[in-house]
Structures are given as C-alpha cells and as structure tokens.
Amino acid sequence: MKVLKVLILQAIMIVVFAASCTKKLDTKPIDPLVTTSATLLDKPAAYKEFLAKLYGSLALSGQKGQFGAPEIQASDEGTTCFLREYWAAQEVTTDECINAWGDGGLVEYHGGIWSDNNLYVQLMYERLFINIAYTNEYIRDVNAKLGGLTGQLKTDATGYVAEARFLRAYFYYIAMDLYGKTPFATETDLPGTFLPKQISRADLFKYVESELIAIQPLLPETNEYARANRFADYALLSRLYLNAKVFTGTDRNTDCITYCNKIISANKYSLNASYKNLFLTDNNTLTNEIIMPIAEDGVNTQSYGDMTFVIHAAVGGSEDATNTFGIASGGWGGNRMTTSFVNKVFADPSGATDKRAIFYTSGQDLNISNPTVFTQGYLSAKFKNVSSTGARGSNDTFVDTDFPLFRFAEIYLNYAEAVVRGGAGGDAGTALTYINELRQRAYGNTNGNINAGQLTLSFLIDERGRDLGVVRAEGFFRDGQRALQHRLGFAEAPLPSIYERQIVQRCGEIRMIRSERLLADRQCALEQRLGLVVTRLVEVHGGHVVDRRRDQRMICPERLLQDPGGALVGRFGVVIAALILEGHGHLEQNKGIVRVLGAESGLYGRLELLPFDECVCIFARGQQRIEALLHRLDIGALCRRRRHRERRDNCEPGRQHYGFPSPFVDHPAPPDPHRDKASR
C-alpha cells in the first residue's frame, strides 16, 4: 500500500510540474528542424516559397517531382497532375485527338461514354479540390499574419494573397465548367469543422467573377514570369463572360468585349512574328504574346503529367525523338489527330499555306481504322523540347517547354466571337481585322484573309482549332474543335468517332448512342461500352433488341467483333450473341436453349432445338461460312464481375477528398459529353 501511495504522489507531482512549465497547449516545437503550421511563415522567404507550391500544383504530382511522394494516390502518379488530367478531359473527349494506348478511361473519353467510374473523371476532381484546399490554406494563414507585418514584406504578402485568390478562382472556374454544381469552401471555412455544401453553377459563376474583380487593384500589371498579373485576370474574365450563357443562362458578351479591350488597348501584348516558336523551349522569352504560362523546367520541374506528358505522348512512329523533339528517352506513341479534324480544319495539312498545320505525316496514314495503331492518324509536331535555334532541352526526358495558359491570340478570338454573338463595345470591322492579323501571321501574306461575310461563328470555331488547338489543347478550347456542335440552346450532335459512333434522331432530337442506352430498332445504331462495339441494332425487319429487364442480353463487356455474316463473335471465336438478317435466321437464347429461327432453304444448319452446352452451329450464307462455337456463359455474372473490378480499382463512392465530399454521392453527375455550351 505504501508503494502505491508513493507512485500516486509521484504522478501528481509530475502533473503539477508539467503544468507549471506551460499553461498553453498551442506552443511551438523547440526543435528548429520541425516545421508546423504555427512556424511555417516565421521566415520572410516562406511567404513566397508557399506561394510557389500553389503554382507548382499546376504541373507537379507531389513533393518529390517525378514520383515517390504523391499528393493523390494512383497506379500512375503522372495521371494525377493537373495539366495531364485537364488536357485529357478537354481534348481526348473531342473529334480532335485520339489515343493509341487502349487505356479504358481514355477510350471512354473519346467514345463519349464516361461515367463516375472513370478514373480520369475522379482524378480530375481530386486534383481540382486539393489545389483549392491549398489556396484556401495559404490565404487563411497569410491573412492571419498580415496584421503583424510591416514594410515591403506586408506589401509583398498582400500581393501573394491576391495571386492565390486568382489561382483559386481559376480552379473553381474549371470545376464549374466540368462539374456544374460543386462543393464550395473558402479560407473562412476551417478544415475538419464542416462538410462543404454544394453551390449552384450560377452562384459559383458570381463568386468567381466577384473574386477576379476584387483582386484587380492588388495584382501588378507586370509580375515575375509565370505568375499571375492583372492582364491574366482580364483574360480569365473574358473567357468566363464568353461562356456566361451556358453557366448562368444570360449572355455577357459585352463584358467579354470590355475585358478584351482592356488587354488590347494597354499595348502591352502583340502577336509574336513566329507562330511555331511559341511552343519551343525558349518560349519563356515570348512574353509579348504569352500572357501567363505554366512554367516548366527539365531540371527543377520534373513530372510525368505536365508538358513532359504532352510532348512524349504525341511522339512515335518514324519521328526522330532525339533531334527533332529533344527527348532522347523516346516518345510514348499515344496521341494523334483524328481524320475528321485534319480534313475539316486544314484544307492543306502540309503547312505550306497555313503554317499552323504543324503535322508529321511520314509513315502515318491519315485514315484511322484501328485506334490502337499509332501509325494511323497524322501526328501533331507543335510542341517540342528544342529551342528556336534547334538546341535540345536541359533533360532528355523532362522538358523545358512552357505551356501557354493565356495567350494574346485568344483575346483576338474572344473579341471576334463576342462581337459576332451580338456583344456591344466592339464592331465587326475591328473583329475582322484581328482575325486577319492571325491569318496573315499563319500564311506569311494576305492570301488567307477573309471578308466580312465569312466572319461567322462556324468559321471562328474552326479558327480556334487552327490557332489554339492541334491536339495539344493549348488554351483548352474543346467545344471550339467540334464540327457538328450546335450550342446556346440548340441540339448538340458530336462528330462520329473512330469507333463508328452513330448520330441518331429520335423524337426530333439529335442524340448520341451511349453506354447502357438501347434505342428502337429503327435507329440502326451501334451501342458502345468502353469505346468498343458491343451489339448492333439492325432494322426492324432484320432483327430485334433483347429485353434487358429479363436478363436476356446479347451484349458482353468483352471485345466483340462483327463478322461478315452478321453475327457478333467474341474473343477466341466464342459466340456471345448473334443477329442474322431476316431470311437467314438468327440465334436466340431462352432458358438455356439456343434456337435457330427464321430459317429458309438458303440457310443450312440444325433447325431443331439445340442444348446450350458446347454445341456447334455451322451454316452458310452465300459463299460466306460462319462457324459459331456456343459456350455456356453467365453474361450477367460476367458483367457484375467487371463492375466490381472497376469499383475496386477506382475511388470508392463516398470517399472524402481533401475536405471536399465525393462528387458521386448526392452530387452532380460528372461532365456530360452532350452538354450545350459556348466555346471556351
């Protein structure tokens, strides 16, 4: 008992002694090597260092550059980078770019059939909101210190906060564009104390607009390279107002013209004499046209998801990766131009007339019949890791070429489109002059000039594709590349892709066949899953649609091919389902029995009921012979297994993302490929 009393007394003394040492729980660590939020901004240089992290989030994936300390978990750390994710969302989804890797997420993107299970959709969401969380934390921490700062440090820190607010507005602009209704939080919302509520698209538009206007007096007209200045703010506002009809339902073309005029009348920016030099390693010197870039450096900015991805992914085939593109480590053989884009946008793809047609065609077929064959489709040779003098970049893998986030040419295009859309404050004659300036640089003379009657929305959309597009997504003008796009309240008809997507009409509306959507037999369309042909709906008199509600399906998520006789066959010759034109019969599964129906004398085969156990049906049609090996397959179970695998491999529904709720639980759907919007 005495021992117990002694131990209790010792414990009490320890507690009293500890309490006498400090009465606060918010003490700073004694160890100078330990950095916490309380000590992060103790050094004056830390204000700018922390700001650099915000800009770095445009290009980097984590704390170690290449890989090893990612901010977002994924099997390929490079896919978590902002530039790579946004590039894929804005370019692979269009008729401009097609990828050869067979990556399921990218195939879904190009096929227009993505869903919340698409890893790229989820990673884009996570990257946006972790970047927003970073900006909120910076603004919160620096604002808490501002009252105690004086002199130049206080002036600098105030400007840094304005830049952080600009980046936050930019990220929210993208979230509004891609997801519509999103979670919303600012620096006043402390992490871990609440679950962010959703904000409507229209209200988020107002917030982004108000932030960009509020910080204008705090942003300098001239800033350090690759940092936001007042004209970057104006450029983003012009982009915001040009799309206001989609975001809010109200045209703001006049405001778009106002901010274009602010940039143009400042006489600070102009078109660079050489178009191609804008996309080389020394484009950091071309600040006369590049308003704000994403900065890249082969030594200090190493990532597999920034411009390194953009350049490597488009190099392959017979291209000289080392000398022409400055990447001795080799290209990745992924991205090419679609046939439709080349044919529609450039009458002469050689570049002999319009120098913006920077394609590589040697050994490349213009037409694409197999999306996974890299030598099918012309290659864009726009961005390179070499300088205007031909010198290679500082690294054979990681590139030095900056990405132009805002460029003066876009301001001319925004002005012209806003005028054509009816905005006040500008005139058609000036708009025509601006467009012809772009074309005179491209042609080297006035041969490409247009007249007033040719200045139409359709022409301007194509002109965006010529100046800002060409696979590399410079400026991210996705809708501007789509040739059959009817916007601002009209039906939208995306271009057929290489996977034979069909444009169909039903009840007077133009629609695209998408995954899990079967239309009436008369649509004569192809349904797709993961970009692959799944089943064919032939005409009413030639076939039928299986009733899915009774689980009698003629589809399977495996790769299916269509044979010359009309049967859909799976891998290794196994028949999953078959539709033979009327007069030649078709196969039908019903309760484990396969029947050959609708037979005529021209159809040779076994016409009685057949067991579904590994039987063989051999029949002929003309001179074509079809051999179908029928196996017992549980199609429903196969589909369920696939869905389970997709859920396992991707983010699970309900998962929290850096203080923001999952976008897929009681939140809006992911980006809709058929939404109606103005060009960005």
- The class of domain 46-75+99-251 in CATH terms is mainly alpha
Instruction: Express each pLDDT in 20-57 by its tens digit.
Output: 444 455 556 666 666 666 678 989 999 999 999 999 99
SS3 letters across 258-278: HHHHHHHHCCCCCCCCCCHHH
Give the pairing of strands 610-611 and 593-597: antiparallel
Would you state the pLDDT for residue 670? 43
Helix, strand, or coil here: 558?
coil
572 Ramachandran zone, left/alpha/beta (phi>0; psi -120 to 50): left
Residue 98 host element (H or E): strand 97-99
Q: Could you tell me where the DSSP H helices lie in 220-345?
A: 230-242, 244-248, 253-265, 307-312, 339-345
* CA atoms of 584 and 598, how far apart (whole Å): 6
Q: Which residue is associated with the tokens 């700073």? A: 28
How much is the pLDDT for 65? Answer: 75
CA distances from 605 to 140, 474, 500, 600, 619 (A): 77, 58, 32, 10, 5
Query: 112, 14, 182, 87: which is closest to 492 by C-alpha?
Result: 112
Question: Looking at residue 520, what is its pLDDT?
Answer: 28
- Supply the pLDDT for residue 40: 81
- Domain locations along the chain: 46-75+99-251, 503-640
Q: What is the pTM of this model?
A: 0.70
- The C-alpha atoms of residue 365 and residue 377 are separated, in whole angstroms, by 5
Residue numbers in the chain where pLDDT is lower than 50: 2-9, 12-23, 471-473, 475-680
- φ, ψ (nearest 5 deg) of residue 561: -120, 160
CA distance linking residue 491 with residue 475, whole number of Å: 25
Contact 494, 482 (CB under 8 A): yes
Query: Percentage of the chain with pLDDT > 90?
Result: 59
Amino acid at 336: R
Instruction: Look at the chain and count its residues.
Output: 680
> What is the secondary structure of 397-420 as a DSSP string?
SS--PPEEEEEHHHHHHHHHHHHH
**Token pair for residue 388?**
């205007």
Token pair, residue 678, equals 């103005």
The span from the CA of 81 to the CA of 79, in Å, is 6
